[in-house]
């Protein structure tokens, strides 16, 4: 077998359109910097999900760290690895980062064994966010499937804190079994204090379940939305958000008024390693939050 090595022509090398600015440390600091955190609280939500409350140790770093709903951090467990996790808390609680983590493998398994007081590292925040300011003055439809309620909590806190900026807020939440329902201890306060219309449905249940049984799309019968003045935020497995967004689109909701979080396996979180690419799109930088129009125009995104 013979191999042909391509000719390398130094005179035809692509030139950089701009000289990199190596003095611009800010851009690097935001992505490469590791914030040392302490786990200040752990809430066991279900058999496989825990809510971790982290506190950034250094007070100056705690003031620097800020994020927007939909963004994620890379969580580093020293000696075991690093994983992307959506921030599942309020943007206004400076220095405090809430993460809801499902135990699925090596790093998440270790995280589930950690105790209050353990130190962790986080990098970020990374990625795009839900355009909450653009949604001002509109009705909001928040739809979550399973663990999708975790990233949804950040826009929910945002709406709570800016309630008068938004019209009607509906939350539709679907899970496989009643035992998998997350954050139901907050539903009453969201209903009573913030006037949210919340509907929960489970796929499979026994007689002890008093609520609805079926698929998440069955909940659409229970609400009426004004498609001209509504934005939807949909988080969950790809099959679910495709189904949900297609349905809403058929009802007249524009594809660019629906936002989803497109999650892929990630390594660096900052556009360096190409691990997360869908076609030529970096889901860590150009995503994870994208409108449905953009996602449907990405080959092999779903
Ligand atoms: C932007 C983003 C936000 C995320 N937010 C959350 C969150 O809020 N809470 C949470 O629990 N998880 C979240 N994840 C998924 C989380 O990163 C993975 O579950 C984690 O990386 C698994 O690491 P592990 O070492 O435990 O699993 P591994 O031992 O590496 O793998 C175990 C199993 O999990 C699957 N897996 C690994 N990574 C992913 C992934 N990124 N997406 C889907 N399946 C995966 C593998 O295919 C394998 O089947 C998010 C992922 C992304 C990209
Ligand atoms: S995770 Fe490395 S480029 Fe996106």
Q: What is the pLDDT of residues 125-170, one digit of tens each?
A: 999 999 999 999 999 999 999 999 999 999 999 999 999 999 999 9
Ligand nearest to the CA of 80: 1
With a 6 A CB cut-off, is 85 part of the ligand 1 pocket?
A: yes
Query: What's the pLDDT at 168?
Result: 97
Ligand nearest to the CA of 149: 1
- Are the folds of 31-126 and 139-296 the same? no
Whether 26 has a pLDDT exceeding 60, the answer reads no
What distance in angstroms lies between residue 139's CA and the mean position of ligand 1's atoms? 31
Tell me the per-residue pLDDT of 173-224, one tens digit each, with 9 for 90 and over: 999 999 999 999 999 999 999 999 999 999 998 888 999 999 999 999 999 9
Tell me the per-residue pLDDT of 41-81, one tens digit each, with 9 for 90 and over: 999 999 999 999 999 999 999 999 999 999 999 999 988 99
Query: What's the pLDDT at 252?
Result: 95
Between residues 23 and 294, the one the model is more confident about: 294
On whether the CB atoms of residues 73 and 124 are closer than 8 A, the answer is yes
Please state which CATH class domain 31-126 belongs to: mainly beta
Q: Given ligand 2 and candidates 128, 270, 280, which is best to mutate, with the most ligand atoms within 8 Å of its CB?
A: 270
Whether 3 has a pLDDT exceeding 80, the answer reads no
Question: For 96-106, what is the mean pLDDT?
Answer: 97
Calpha distance 138→169 (Å, rounded):
9
With a 6 A CB cut-off, is 175 part of the ligand 1 pocket?
A: no
Q: How many CB atoms lie within 10 A of CB 119?
A: 13
Calpha distance 99→50 (Å, rounded):
8
Whether 1 has a pLDDT exceeding 70, the answer reads no
Domain parsing of the chain, residue ranges: 31-126, 139-296
With a 6 A CB cut-off, is 268 part of the ligand 2 pocket?
A: yes
With a 6 A CB cut-off, is 267 part of the ligand 2 pocket?
A: yes
Q: How many CB atoms lie within 10 A of CB 136?
A: 13
Q: Given ligand 1 and candidates 76, 103, 105, 290, which is best to mutate, with the most ligand atoms within 8 Å of its CB?
A: 105
Taking the CA of residue 269 as reference, the ligand 2 atom at the shortest distance is 1
H or E stretch at 53: strand 49-56
Query: What's the pLDDT at 2?
Result: 64
Which CATH number applies to 139-296: 3.40.50.300, 3.30.450.20, 3.30.70.890, 3.40.50.80?
3.40.50.80
Calpha distance 265→194 (Å, rounded):
35
Reduced to 3 states, what is the DSSP secondary structure of residue 79?
A: coil
Taking the CA of residue 84 as reference, the ligand 2 atom at the shortest distance is 1
Whether 20 has a pLDDT exceeding 70, the answer reads no
Calpha distance 38→54 (Å, rounded):
6
With a 6 A CB cut-off, is 266 part of the ligand 2 pocket?
A: yes
Reduced to 3 states, what is the DSSP secondary structure of residue 251?
A: coil
Whether 24 has a pLDDT exceeding 60, the answer reads no
Query: What's the pLDDT at 22?
Result: 55
């Amino acid at each position: 077998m013979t191999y042909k090595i391509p000719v390398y022509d130094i005179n035809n090398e692509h030139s950089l359109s701009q000289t990199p600015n190596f003095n611009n440390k800010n851009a690097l600091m935001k992505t490469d910097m590791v914030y040392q955190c302490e786990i200040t609280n752990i809430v066991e939500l279900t058999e496989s999900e825990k809510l971790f409350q982290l506190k950034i140790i250094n007070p100056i770093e705690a003031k620097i760290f800020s994020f927007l709903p939909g963004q994620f951090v890379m969580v580093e467990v020293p000696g075991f690895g690093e994983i992307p996790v959506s921030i599942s808390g309020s943007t206004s609680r400076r220095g405090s980062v809430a993460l809801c983590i499902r135990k699925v493998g090596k790093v998440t398994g270790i995280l589930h064994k950690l105790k209050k007081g353990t130190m962790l590292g986080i990098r970020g925040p990374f990625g795009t966010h839900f355009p909450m300011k653009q949604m001002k003055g509109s009705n909001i439809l928040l739809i979550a499937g399973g663990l999708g309620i975790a990233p949804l909590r950040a826009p929910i806190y945002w709406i709570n804190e800016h309630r008068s900026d938004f019209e009607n807020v509906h939350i539709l939440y679907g899970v496989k079994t009643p035992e998998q329902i997350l954050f139901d201890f907050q539903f009453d306060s969201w209903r009573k204090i913030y006037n949210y219309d919340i509907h929960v449905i489970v796929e499979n249940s026994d007689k002890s379940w008093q609520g609805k049984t079926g698929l998440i799309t069955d909940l659409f019968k229970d609400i009426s939305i004004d498609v001209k003045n509504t934005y939807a935020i949909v988080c969950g497995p790809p099959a679910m958000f495709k189904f949900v967004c297609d349905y809403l689109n058929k009802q007249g909701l524009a594809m660019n008024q629906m936002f989803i979080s497109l999650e892929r396996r990630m390594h660096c979180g900052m556009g360096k390693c190409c691990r997360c690419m869908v076609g030529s799109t970096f889901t860590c930088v150009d995503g994870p939050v994208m409108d449905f129009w953009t996602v449907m125009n990405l080959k092999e995104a779903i």
